[in-house]
Amino acid sequence: MRRRTKDGSEGRMRSFALEEAEEDVDEPPGPLPARGTQATGAGRGGVPDDGARLPSVSHGPASRDVPGRARSGRRPSRRTRALLGAAIATVIVLVVGGLVVGERNEAARIERVLASSGGVRSLGPDVAVVWRIDPVAGGNAPDLGRWSQPTVVDGVLVVPGDPVAGYDPTTGERLWSASESSAASERARSGDQTRCIGSGPRSDSGPVVCTTSSYRPVTIFGETSEEAHLRRIEVVDPVTGDVLTARSVDEETTAATVAFTDGLATFAWGSGGQVVVTLEDLATGELRWSRELVPEPGEGVESPRYLQGWPDGDELRVEATGLSATLDADGSSVGAREGMSWDSTLPDGGRVSTGGDGTWTVFAPDGHGAFSVEGNLVLFDVTDGSADVPLLVSAGGDVMDAAGTIARPTFSALDRRTGRTLWTADGTLERAVAQVGDVGVLSGAGRLWGVDLATGERVWEAEGTLAYGQSFTDGTDLYLVGQSGTGATRVTAISVDSGQELWEADVPELSTWTFSARGRLVLVTDEGGLLGLG
């Protein structure tokens, strides 16, 4: 290596390896000969009396190895060994720490997937029934009829029956039975149905509200249907099965719903033709308020007894023959609305609401309206639990304007928080099947394709068509559940990354409905039993 001196000439600059410098400082080879004297053979690399060759000692910049003679190795100094050990230890700490962090991140991802609606543990081609709850099992007959379905509340599989029971969805073990109440004798009427639902904001937390109803034929808007008449209400702790409160109700009561988080609202016809709305404390049954609403006379001759109520955001909606009203938490009327509305919950805890006029309002998790959008909002059937899942809106393709023109079908992805359009694509979007990571699995005309949710670019397109009813994900693969041609339930696994069909397997029993419970895929059979798959 050369360097330029102040006078412009070049001089040599010597480079020292770390071990060479440290060797000279920490471990000198021995005393040097006096200046001006001849070095001994040992000092010049010669052979001393005992015949062992010693390493040569260099003095001065012109030192060279002797040609043809092997260079002797040096033992690293204490400082060098300490530095090397520290470096190795640091690398080990970084590697082990990275593995630990990676494992924690992966565990958190799996928990997020399992906590989402439709999240399941990984399945394989050998998927089979690992537990079952038969229609009659141990004195507990699941009551899974037209309006009654099992629900998962605080991690417990709550099954309406005679009586209501709670199960571990992983093992199928019965945890409790609400048999200490008088509900069994109260529900003995043939044709009664019991429906249970969690009272939390997303119906996945307790306490559980179970309503038992009888059904009567009724004509609604010229169509013959059935109307529920409540007979009994029970509020159950989902963890212990303890009945917190239970009571029989006047059979003129047609509906009950959880409202304002911790209240139980009931709707009944009064003796004078008025609508009576009550709100009770969910845990104690204590009456908070009762409100009478008078319908407009002369309306709804074809359906004189229609009455329903449900939560509408932070308010309570009441719909009856000649009546449309909205009440707040104090029972005060906040005005009537033009049409019925529908709400859906988003993965981040927000919600979307529409009044049926083609306009959707998107609400943030804190309840404030974020933005509105026109078109048909298509929500994902299942997600991996990610919070910032784009919203998909389809437009055109089925509406003719005044000039007789039908706009070409398109669909767009909107930013969940701002409503900003991320991208727009041509084509018909019939179903948003699943969101897994940055891939969205979409469906149209019976075909599946995957898109990059950030750009809208198609990353794959599946061959042929797949008949399925419901979709689930383990955060990596997609599981489609439908019926086989032989009357069995078919599970088909699809790679989210490539769209490739990985495997398919049939479960002999025919399923009418499938859901996920704490990572377990659960089938409701056509006979009213439950099957846990694994």
Q: pLDDT tens digit string along 228-285?
A: 778 888 899 999 999 988 888 877 788 888 888 889 999 998 888 899 999 999 888 8
Neighbours of 499 (CB within 10 A): 19
Per the model's pLDDT, the better-predicted residue between 189 and 154 turns out to be 154
pLDDT digits (tens, 9 = 90+) for 330-346: 999 886 555 556 778 88
Structure tokens at 271: 């003796």
Short-list 384, 440, 436, 447, CA closest to 412 = 440
Terminus-to-terminus CA distance in the chain, angstroms? 69
What span, in angstroms and rounded, lies between the C-alpha atoms of 91 and 216?
74
Per the model's pLDDT, the better-predicted residue between 391 and 78 turns out to be 391
Whether pLDDT at 460 is above 80:
yes
Whether pLDDT at 53 is above 80:
no
For residue 361, what are the contacts with CB-CB under 8 A and spacing of at least 6?
352, 353, 354, 369, 371, 372
Whether pLDDT at 468 is above 70:
yes
Please state, for a pLDDT cut of 90, what percent of the chain lies above it.
Answer: 32
What span, in angstroms and rounded, lies between the C-alpha atoms of 480 and 505?
11
For residue 124, what are the contacts with CB-CB under 8 A and spacing of at least 6?
503
Q: What is the pLDDT of residue 522?
A: 94
Computed over every residue of the chain, the mean pLDDT equals 77
Give pTM, 2 decimals.
Answer: 0.73
What span, in angstroms and rounded, lies between the C-alpha atoms of 156 and 179?
17
42 — pLDDT class (breaks 50, 70, 90): very low
Of these ranges, 16-30, 104-118, 197-211, 464-478, the one predicted with the greatest mean pLDDT is 464-478
Which amino acid appears at position 287 of this protein? L
Per the model's pLDDT, the better-predicted residue between 85 and 155 turns out to be 155
Q: What is the pLDDT of residue 335?
A: 67
Short-list 214, 280, 284, 285, CA closest to 250 = 214
Structure tokens at 517: 């419970």
Using DSSP, state whether 185 is helix, strand or coil.
helix
Across 175-189, 281-295, 502-516, least confident range: 175-189
pLDDT digits (tens, 9 = 90+) for 85-144: 777 777 676 666 666 566 677 677 778 888 888 899 999 999 999 999 887 443 344 445
Structure tokens at 126: 């050998």
Neighbours of 417 (CB within 10 A): 14
CA–centroid distance for 348 within its chain: 9
* Cβ–Cβ < 8 Å for 534, 520: yes
Q: What is the pLDDT of residue 340?
A: 56
CA–centroid distance for 186 within its chain: 38
Q: What is the pLDDT of residue 138?
A: 39
